[in-house]
Structure 1
Amino acid sequence: MNTRNPRLNLLAVAVAASLQLAACGGGDAGAPDIFPPTVTITTGAIGTANGPVTFTFNFSEAVGSSFTADDLIVSGGTMGTLTRVSDTQYTLLVTPPAGSTGEISVSVKAASFSDAAGNLNKVNPTVTHRFDTCSTTEPTCAPTTTIPTDALRIFSDATSVQTLDMAPDWGQGGQVTRQGVTIAGNNAQKYVFLGPDRLYQGIAWEGSPQNVSSKGKLHLDLWSATAASVKITLIGGGRETGVTRTLTAGAWTAVDIDLTEFTQTDLTQAIQIKLEPTAPGTLYVDNIYFHGLAASASCGTTAPTCAPSTSIPTDALRIFSDATSVGGLDMAPDWGQNGKVVRAGATIASNNVQKYAFAGPDALYQGITWDSNPQNVSARGKLHLDVWSSDVTSVKISLIGGGAENGITKTLTAGAWNSLDIDLSAYTSPDLSRVIQIKLEPGTAGTLYVDNIYFHGTASGGGGGSTAFVGGVFAADYQGNLGANTAQSTLGGSVGFFLDTRLYSNKAFDDGGVAGTAVNANGVPNFYYGIGKLSPTLTDAYFGAYVNAPGNAVADASAYSKIKLKFWGDAESWEKNNFTAQVDVLVQGPKDTACANGAGRPEMLRAVPAQKIGAASEYVIAKADFTLVENCGGKYTVNSVWSSVGSVVVRLAGTNLQYVNSVPSTPVSYPTFLNMGPISFTNN
């Protein structure tokens, strides 16, 4: 068999997650229903919502009227009417508060609804979605900026520099007006540029020159509904330099300019800022300050002597910071480093940070975990960390969720705080809806100081990458966690296993997991599950796996004449000369209530003999070789199923479950394993 991920051992795999008979078909309709119903929650909104959000609840089987509004927990918005679309689907409209930014959270209580057999749900999924209902014509929300404690403030709601004049007369001749305004309880400045000429306004504190040569950046918060960009000029020592920045219309834009861009300005005696919008209109200004350290400024040689200058956004989801941390946080779990990594809390410039000493030469890794309190960051944009080291030049940062992970390597500047922001779209393997851990792997032995770990911003789109059926690719790789019911193809199609309940209740062991490229880079991407069956022999049982279409939609394969797929299993079941299974390959269409089979889908079947070459096994089956075995009352043909493929199933049934070759176990058992690899449609 292909390499398995040892962390996904499912010796007591959750029946509800792995044995989803109703979701994938191929089972015995007469078997007793002991499987609890499951539900997935999705939203139709892409990116940050500007108004009401519709949440859709899709159930694995009919739940009728057992699902009610009392089964829901909603925060961050006002819950509307829960609408029953069908026995397997409900919708809910949630309205966020006006003039605000935040996150709507919708979760389902455990043991709150049931299927027709009375089985109660066991899992309680939670879905969140970001919202921004601030006006786009006039600012109704304050900036979300958190000003660093070491900032040199020019203007802010709390304090300003001495001798500050926010509207000196520089000869504009009344073509610029200035007014102090209060926005959501926050003081800001409003400038109206009448135009068409003299589109400039100064901000001056020449009576109190400021030496900002040791600072790193100039920050301003700007809002405009009309100006596409603003030229920001810093003036000092009789010299000036202007830098132009693009604005997001109708929203606060947090502008940070590296002071190295002000090449002509004397930074030792900064006295003025000049703002020049590109067109007449209104510009709101808030939070003007200098912060951070210049690249040339010393922050220690062997240990940091200054704190990070990071300004944590107020809407950030904090994992660790000086002010607050996520519940259940463990900054130094024992992951088998055998004492080769030592962690200590440290206080630097009155700021609490974490210090990790990696002795090496091996065990160069350290986890940070909050696994008892999974966080949904699927609507967030970036992961942020502040990292300082004098002797480590790079660090690999892995994000772990849903039993899968991948790492991103970042270069470090020695002797300075490195403000690392990683776009969450780079984390293609972990389940971002249930992130539980971060792993740090320095490139060499040495010491890392770590501070300010948080998720912030918003995802650039619907998240998770493409879920389209393109180029015939049905499933190329796999991610997620079987036991947590989050396993799926990287194209967003759910995957899992189903089997006769008699096999599961009469077994010596079971094992399963997801071995995608993120955890099994040198092998064939696959997910797998298997059991050690005990006597007596069952000749009418079944065992199989399913892979749903990309995005759990349907795939139109009408442009292709063949399906190509990889599957294999354990040596005892698949590679012995004294036993050769006939394997059922089923191509299923969309869900349809007219279908009377266990899958609730039209389906066509082709049986093939099991190959005996392990992960090298590949099966290519022509559409013409399939037989339609469920037409759902005559509604479907082979061609109509092929043009709307909802799921691909591989199944072992009857005497094709082997009871010939045993493995050592107590008591002796007969294994049946199945690894499902990539699936595609082709003409070759």
Structure 2
Amino acid sequence: MTASLKTFPLSTLALSVALCLGTGFVTSAVAATEATCARGMTCLSFSASTLYDPFEGLVSAGMVKDPVKANRPNNVAKFVKGPSGQPWAGATVYTNATDKSVKPIGLDKSKIITVRVYAAAAGQTIRLKVENSLDPTTSVETDATTTVGGAWETLTFDLGQPAPGTPAYNPAKTYNKISLFPQFSVTAPPAADTTTYFDDLVYTTKKGSGPQAPLVYAANYSQVDPVTWTSTQGGTAGNYIDTTVPSQYWWNGVAPGDATPSFYFGYGINVNQKPWGFGAYVNAPANGTVKVGGYTNMRIAVWGNDELMNHHPNLALLLVGPSISGCAAVLTSSVAVTAPGVQNYTVPISSFALTTPCGYASASAALAGGTASAHVQVLGSNMQFTAATDGNGNYANGLNIGPISFE
């Protein structure tokens, strides 16, 4: 269904520590070399390829030489926890900088993860938590306790026995994010800075681990009022235009039953009082935030009335983060329209440039902070003023916004 002026969508490891061959898992103060992983296993050896994201006031987390014999070719992770942070301060360890993830964990095969730990004393609680990198509500966490101080030992974390009051494993979910919490507590941080070292974190890799399942951002729409719609995923959608100059709202509607469903709208824009542009937005599912940095492409159906699309505009695409202290990060890309009618665009996530940083140092960092809304804009000379006029200098310009997903 289209409007009267044609419109279109815009748019594990109790098995054996021997599974990590040559790691030299020990419970004495003997340094190991870098791990070599057995087939079907993932080993984080905390070499230069491992990254760290401290949180909740952890003093620091990073790579250093093995504290036992620093002259050996073995790098380990060093966490420093102090009295100024939260009792549960820790750090995420990851290899994929886009979404701070690791290879998916095969908890369906084994719920055991082992980690070599060098703690200052026996009796310290170490917590390990796994999550979904795009959904922090999906998590499992459990504890292990050090038995020696000043020496390496291998601790076993059984995620089949989650810590009291924390979620259990959900076989329908993917777990691909790992965090470590030295000297974990819920009451008080350590009285002084304390160092804990980690090495050779080993788990069963999820079978068939590969590209993650597509994220359906907005599959269809229903109309709330002339300027508001809702996606089937629960995100509010709407349109906007530069209000510093007059314009006319000529059409709006929704076409949920079309082969490519969409919501649509259009303006009569005056050639003598041109706005900076107009656009549409679709909020993230449930009006929350999603993390799309781990995906390769944005898929969006975008089109508009034939008069505008025959003008072959460049459509600006924006991914806008949540507002933090009144500032929302903006990443921008674009698509070039070459024909009228329904068009489906595949837009590389890597093409989005950070145009409003709001404190983020890079596009990947902003994407990791989450996306709250996706926008499509028609700006400046991309509007058309050659056809479909009312005779008073107003010209038809409108958009259809169709399904949006990330793959």
Instruction: Give the TM-score, by structure 1 length.
Output: 0.28
Give the number of the structure with larger relative contact order, counting CA–CA contacts within 8 Å between residues 6 or more apart.
Answer: 2
| Structure ID, larger Rg | 1
Instruction: Give the TM-score, by structure 2 length.
Output: 0.46
